[in-house]
Structure 1
Amino acid sequence: MKRHAGAASALAPTKNRLSIEDRLEHRELVLRRSIEALSVLAQKFPHDVETSPQVARSVAAQENRWRAMESEFGMLDSTAVARELGNSATNRNKASQLVKEGKLLGVKRGNKTFFPKFEFDLAAGKVRPVISDVVRIAGDRWSGESLLQWFCAPNGFLDGRRPVDVIDDEAALLSTARKSLAEEW
């Protein structure tokens, strides 16, 4: 059997590619750290609270989605929002005010609220106006956190693309929001 000259080198480990053993070792480390972290959390539950495996998986999946969003887009805290919007860095109330007005969406993480950077036109120093349009279309049927997840989930009305992928195409985004978020009778 004749092999291509590059076939052997394509299979050889490189600096950018980990060997199978290294990948398995890394996965094992991640798994052990996850188990340790979940054990610490489980110990904080009241003794009369029993958590099903399904609930634990759901919580872990939700956490993974927030981490993926943070990794891909970055998040701003209230102070950073004020700074990016040209307000005093100490005016942390600006973000809360924008949330109350339906112009910004945030996610509570621990005791702080964070705001994905895709909601902002940082070059212009403002929140993207289309965010408030989507919030208005969704009405009170969707929480802010649910809408943030909606932005980052593949959508059939966009042929599998995510709403965040078309955030600069206001017409496409709003059409998709009307089809998938609006109340139907």
Structure 2
Amino acid sequence: MFTQSDSRMPTHRHHQKIRHYGYRTQPAEPARLVALGHDYVCIWDCYEQGGGLCKLSTLIQEISGSTRWHQIPDLLEDVNDGKLVAFPVCHQVWLPRFQFDAGYGVLNPVRRSVALLRCHLDSVEMALWFCTPNELLEGEPPMDAVHSIPESVVLAARARRLEG
């Protein structure tokens, strides 16, 4: 494992921001992401601008400390059933924060889009789809368009499903 003063530590440009926001606790994690492949680095890049990513365990702690603690079983069930944008990295489940409202509820267009896509895309492909600019959404990624044109996000998901 690298330490912060280790000269072998990767100089990946995301390392500083990820550590700053606290989404990653170990300095070596970006190196693991690079080793996992380009898709994971792209996911980190994209979601960093849309509210970031959080570990499932961190999200549960946040919800536990709020008045919404009763939502935890539903959240765990939704993650387990593939009803949310969530993907594994290094034995942890990560979730993009864009899909939640201020009360930790899942945004309806996200829930509907995931329902359309989950049989056609794996968890990493799903995460990439939500953060990739989409021509049906005027060049916006679905994670950004979910607030401005929510029904269009669902239509774009339907179109992606029909592509196969």
Shared topology, TM-score over 0.5? yes
2:93 aligned with 1:108, yes or no? no
Q: Judging changes above 3 Å, is the alpha-carbon distance between structure 1 residues 101 and 107 closer, same or farther for their aligned structure 2 residues?
A: closer
Answer yes or no: is 1:135 the counterpart of 2:111. no
* C-alpha contact (below 8 Å) 2:146/2:153 kept by paired residues: yes
The structure-2 alpha-carbon separation of the partners of 1:108 and 1:115, relative to structure 1 and needing over 3 Å to count, comes to same
Provide TM-score, normalisation by structure 1: 0.58
Deviation at 1:150, TM superposition (A): 0.5
Task: Give a deviation string over 1:40-97, Cα, whole Å, max 9, x none.
Answer: 98xxxxxxxxxxxxxx9992x2232132134222112223323338227xx6x65431
2:57 to 79, 90, 109: 79
**TM-score, normalized by length of structure 2?**
0.65
| RCO higher in structure (CA 8 A, sep ≥6) | 2
What is the CA-CA distance between 1:130 and the residue it aligns to?
A: 1.8
- One-letter amino acid of the structure 2 residue matched with residue 75 of structure 1: L
Deviation of 1:162 after TM superposition, in Å, equals 1.1
Q: Which amino acid aligns with 2:108?
A: P
Q: Percent identity, aligned pairs only?
A: 19
Q: 1:78 to 1:184 in 2, by over 3 A?
A: closer
1:102–1:132 contact (8 Å) kept in structure 2? no
The one-letter amino acid of 1:77's match is K
- Give ranges in structure 1 of 5+ residues lacking alignment: 1-28, 32-36, 42-55
Q: Which moved more, 1:75-84 or 1:141-150?
A: 75-84
Q: CA deviation at 1:139?
A: 4.0
Partner of 2:144: 165
The residue aligned with 1:174 is 154
After TM superposition, the runs of 4+ consecutive aligned structure 1 residues lying more than 4 A away are: none
Q: Which blocks of at least 5 consecutive residues in structure 2 are unaligned?
A: 1-9, 13-27
CA contact (8 A) 2:99 2:107 kept: yes
For 1:154 and 1:172, how far apart are their aligned partners in 2?
Answer: 13
Q: What is the number of equivalent residue pairs in this alignment?
A: 132
Across the aligned residues of Structure 1 and Structure 2, the Cα RMSD in angstroms comes to 3.2
Paired AA for residue 76 in structure 1: C
SS of match in other structure, 2:132? coil
Distance 1:183 1:100, change over 3 A: farther
